[in-house]
Amino acid sequence: MGVRLAFLPCCSLEPHRRNWTLFVIQDANGLRFSADDLARMLVGTGARSGPLYRQLSESLTELIERGELPQGAALPPERALAQALTVSRTTVVAAYQALREQGLLERRQGSGTRVSADRARETVSGLAGDHAASQFLNGPLATIDFATAALPSLDLVADVAAGLTRDDYLRLTGTHHGYHLRGLPALRERIARWYSDAGMPTAPEDILITSGAQQALELVARGCLQPGDGVVVEQPTYRGALEAFGRTGNRLRTVRIDDEGLDVIALEKLLATESPRLVYVQTAAHNPTGVVLSDDRRQRLTRLLDQHEVVLVDDTSLAGTSFDGRPSAPALTTHERLVTIGSMSKLFWGGLRLGWIRAVPQVVSRLAQVRGITDLGSSLVAQEVALRLMDHRDAAEAERRTALPTGLRTLTELLDRHLPDWTWREPQAGASLWVRLPQGDATHFAQIALRYGVALLPGAVFSADGSTDDHTRLPYSLPTATMSQGVTRLAQAWTDYLNRATVDVTLTSAVT
Ligand SMILES: Cc1ncc(COP(=O)(O)O)c(C=O)c1O
């Protein structure tokens, strides 16, 4: 395995700044990367060797060439970056100097070091920086990947796909030009029937098939929100939702979650004092905590829809992964302001790239129009496979119900043995453990972990204000050997991290 360059931000300059605030800035000349932002982005660059300054300049070049550091963007001052990466200031000075000589950076009077306009790529404003999709953009990390909590595919997916015959394909290709903006009619009908059978009366007109739940979130953000609208999210929550809702320039408010899920009473109070346009929740199974909303709170949440003019978005992407076998169809209610999001990714396979929105037909039509601007529909071949998979939901859920708790047990036993101070709340569903670090913060620990060959996501990326950075998320659907090696390395990294913290404290008291 090549040596991976990992930089350690030892002191947090803007610890609670959210990276996705970058997404609302349109003018690259206004883009300013803090030292912590850049430290996180450097984690995603390739493994290098040689003198540190050269490793740093090569990694920065990679970010510039990928367009993630776009032309005109301001880099942090040398001293700040050196502190954030625990390298000497000379290292950063030499790296910036090398890039200036290559014409990639320039120093402007009064505005510090910027990416040169003539050499760097122009970038789409929404794609600069560190974001949920970066893990999937840059190929597999040369490390143990604890940063992704995707579930492995079930063999069922291959079996069902292999069962499609030439006649099936001819029926598909021979009857229609293939542009079904709202989705394959038979699949919309099948999903509607699944909801109806579970007690949520649904018609095919209420379903819009999307290219994954992530696209569904983006469509809802674009179709239901105006810039400046208030959006309430759980704390913590799914990172991709923060990006979708944060990108449209909306004000984010948070409500905490506990063992029973969203604190609905706190939400009620918030709705009484502010008038957010949209509330985003995960009632069926929550990423990253694995909590399932209790029945009591579910009913209370439902009643809120009658009392407040708010759009409730229930992201049920993880439905079907609960350990107790509760019915996977999420039964909130039927309401004109309820938008339910579903996905094939968790129960079956993310590679199908299929999800859906369930809403009243007017909302479905509006969101289909929004979708048509960038995408004229999802693959009908994938939808044909999904249609057949819907008949195997029970078998798929049973398989997940066995595998996920087993993986969870393996991971928690490893943590008990190697990291006995780390704590967590037992998840009831999903594929990830929300772990609390006994001290320090995960953004900085993640940098050390990377030096030991483990990539993980700091808790800050799962919250609207970065305040959950005393947590990290660990996946338990990986092979046992990978989890075992990963936790062993994490334990070594943790010892190293604690030793550094002790050194820091000693040095500080010597100075003061
Ligand atoms: C809560 C939640 N919503 C949406 C998504 C996106 O899913 P999809 O693969 O269907 O786009 C994920 C994926 O991790 C998720 O956890």
302-337 CB burial, b ≥16 within 10 A, e <16: beebeebebbbbbbbbbbbbbbeebebbbbbbbeeb
In the reported structure, the alpha carbon of residue 83 is separated from the centroid of ligand 1 by a whole-number distance in angstroms of 35
CATH for 155-394, options being 3.40.50.620, 3.40.50.720, 3.40.630.40, 3.40.640.10: 3.40.640.10
**CA angle, residues 363, 364, 370, in degrees to nearest 5:** 90
DSSP string, 22-71: GGG---GGG-B--HHHHHHHHHTSPP--S-HHHHHHHHHHHHHHTTSS-T
DSSP state of 181: T
Distance between CA atoms of residues 242 and 171, nearest Å: 41
Contact criterion met (CB below 8 Å) for 104 and 62:
no
DSSP string, 130-172: --TTHHHHS---SSEE-S--PPPPPHHHHHHHHT--HHHHHHH
Residue 333: strand, helix, or coil: coil
* Residue 282 CB less than 6 A away from ligand 1: yes
For 385, list phi and psi in degrees, rounded to 5: -65, -45
Residue with tokens 């095919």, as numbered in its chain? 204
> Looking at 241-310, which runs of residues are DSSP E strands?
251-258, 261-262, 278-281
For 360, list phi and psi in degrees, rounded to 5: -65, 155
As to burial, measured by CB atoms within 10 angstroms (0-12 exposed, 13-18 middle, 19+ buried), residue 498 is middle
Instruction: Give bridge partners of residue 280 from the DSSP assignment.
Output: 233, 313
Q: For a substitution probing ligand 1, which of 219, 346, 432, 461 has the most ligand atoms within 8 Å of its CB?
A: 346
* Residue 237 CB less than 6 A away from ligand 1: no
Is the link from the previous residue into 427 a cis peptide, with omega within 30 of 0? Answer: no
> Looking at 350-450, which runs of residues are DSSP E strands?
355-358, 423-424, 432-436
pLDDT in tens, 83-108: 777 678 888 999 999 999 899 999 87
Q: Of ligand 1's atoms, which has the minimum distance to the CA of residue 216?
A: 11
Distance between CA atoms of residues 241 and 271, nearest Å: 20
Residue numbers of the chain with a pLDDT score lower than 70:
1-30, 40, 43-49, 86, 118-142, 326-333, 502-512
Distance between CA atoms of residues 243 and 250, nearest Å: 11
Residue with tokens 């107790």, as numbered in its chain? 324
> Where do you find CATH 3.40.640.10 in the chain?
155-394
Looking only at the bridges linking them, the beta strands covering 311-315 and 278-281 are parallel
In the reported structure, the alpha carbon of residue 429 is separated from the centroid of ligand 1 by a whole-number distance in angstroms of 14
In the reported structure, the alpha carbon of residue 213 is separated from the centroid of ligand 1 by a whole-number distance in angstroms of 5
> Where do you find CATH 3.90.1150.10 in the chain?
400-511
Residue with tokens 């819009």, as numbered in its chain? 208
Distance between CA atoms of residues 290 and 294, nearest Å: 13
> Where do you find CATH 1.10.10.10 in the chain?
19-138
Read off the tokens for 24: 């609302």
**CA angle, residues 415, 421, 427, in degrees to nearest 5:** 55
Q: Of ligand 1's atoms, which has the minimum distance to the CA of residue 214?
A: 11
Read off the tokens for 211: 């290219």
Q: Of ligand 1's atoms, which has the minimum distance to the CA of residue 355?
A: 10
Alpha carbon nearest to ligand 1 atom 7, residue: 213
Element of type H or E holding 232: strand 230-235
Ramachandran assignment for 249, one of left (phi > 0), alpha (psi -120 to 50 degrees), beta (any other): left
Distance between CA atoms of residues 321 and 397, nearest Å: 6
* Residue 316 CB less than 6 A away from ligand 1: no
Q: Of ligand 1's atoms, which has the minimum distance to the CA of residue 343?
A: 10
* Residue 238 CB less than 6 A away from ligand 1: yes
Q: Which of 412, 421, 414, 495 lies closest to 452, judged by CA?
A: 495
Contact criterion met (CB below 8 Å) for 433 and 476:
yes
Q: Which of 385, 392, 372 lies closest to 168, judged by CA?
A: 385
As to burial, measured by CB atoms within 10 angstroms (0-12 exposed, 13-18 middle, 19+ buried), residue 366 is middle
* Residue 378 CB less than 6 A away from ligand 1: no
* Residue 9 CB less than 6 A away from ligand 1: no
Q: Which architecture characterizes domain 19-138 according to CATH? A: Orthogonal Bundle (1.10)
Tell me which CATH code domain 400-511 carries. 3.90.1150.10
pLDDT at residue 11, rounded to an integer: 26
In the reported structure, the alpha carbon of residue 355 is separated from the centroid of ligand 1 by a whole-number distance in angstroms of 9
DSSP string, 431-470: SEEEEE-SSS-HHHHHHHHHHTTEE-EEGGGGSTTSTTTT
Distance between first and last Cα of the chain: 43
